[in-house]
Amino acid sequence: MNKIVTIQQSIMAEDEKFADAIRADNGKRGLLMVNLIGSPGCGKTTLLEKTAEARRLSFAVIEGDLATSRDAERLAKHDIPVVQVNTHGGCHLEANVVQKAMEALPLDTLDVLFVENVGNLVCPAEFDLGEDFKVALLSTPEGADKPLKYPYLFTSSEVILLTKADLLPYLNFDMDMFTRDVAHLNPSAKTVHVDSLSGRGLDEWLAILEERVREKKAHAL
């Protein structure tokens, strides 16, 4: 006999168990966790290097990379604790892997734990890692049409960074389209234009983090 069973459970229920455990642990610790998502080469590691140079936050990084450990080496030069996770071709990180990586980090001494996700605008946005919020990075050479092409990432991120803003004079980046589409997808997102070479926009980025760190610590048990 066949029967119909009602399930009503997320497709990712197994992954979400790990994500929920991470979120609960970080809640007790008062540790802010931020998931950085953007295309290959959009400037994720450079932003983390600049964030380290500013010396305003104590943080560690979980580096999701397809193969090499080059990004981890770049950050280690700035005395940032880094755990490298190679996905061996996998297009995104998953919470069970992140939970293991966290064991190697001095979590109780940190303000922020960053995850630099694998360079990709689709799958990394779909897998909850237990972060407090996602940051979508779009670099200006990629074009202003990307938010509408990748709506899930841009809708589900609390912060949207338009990186490589220094290149705007050389590109035909349609800023009106970008602003309109972001307002349509995610009207309450905080959008910051960042130029990591000159440091423009970094203060605004750091101020967002510092405010969220304060909130997180205030709510810790």
Ligand X SMILES: Nc1nc2c(ncn2[C@@H]2O[C@H](COP(=O)(O)OP(=O)(O)OP(=O)(O)O)[C@@H](O)[C@H]2O)c(=O)[nH]1
Burial degree of 56 (CB within 10 A; 0-12, 13-18, 19+): middle
Which range binds other proteins by CB under 8 A, 35-43, 152-160, 169-177, 206-214? 152-160
Q: What is the spatial distance between Cα 105 and Cα 32, in angstroms, rounded to a whole number?
A: 14
Q: Which residues pair with 161 in a beta bridge?
A: 137, 192
Which range binds ligand X by CB under 6 A, 18-26, 38-46, 85-93, 127-135? 38-46
Q: Is 199 in the site for ligand X (CB under 6 A)?
A: no
91 binds, among ligand X, Mg ion, Zn ion, none (CB under 5 to 8 A by kind): Zn ion
**Residue 166 burial (CB count, 10 A):** 15
Which string of x and - marks every residue 27-66 that binds Mg ion (by CB under 5 A)? Answer: -----------------xx---------------------
Q: Is 7 in the site for other proteins (CB under 8 A)?
A: yes
102-161 residues near Zn ion, rule: CB under 5 A: 123
Q: Is 71 in the site for Mg ion (CB under 5 A)?
A: yes
Q: What is the spatial distance between Cα 184 and Cα 22, in angstroms, rounded to a whole number?
A: 31
Which parts of 21-154 are beta strand (E)?
32-38, 59-65, 82-86, 112-116, 133-139
Dihedral in degrees, nearest 10, Cα atoms 88, 49, 134, 193: -130
Q: Is 166 in the site for ligand X (CB under 6 A)?
A: yes
Q: Is 152 in the site for other proteins (CB under 8 A)?
A: yes
**Residue 92 burial (CB count, 10 A):** 17
Phi and psi, residue 187, nearest 5°: -60, -25
In the list 44, 146, 193, 212, the residue contacting ligand X (rule: CB under 6 A) is 44
Contacts with other proteins by CB under 8 A lie at: 1-15, 91-92, 122-123, 126-127, 151-152, 155-156, 183-185, 187-188
Contacts with ligand X by CB under 6 A lie at: 38, 40-46, 71, 119, 163-164, 166-167, 195-197
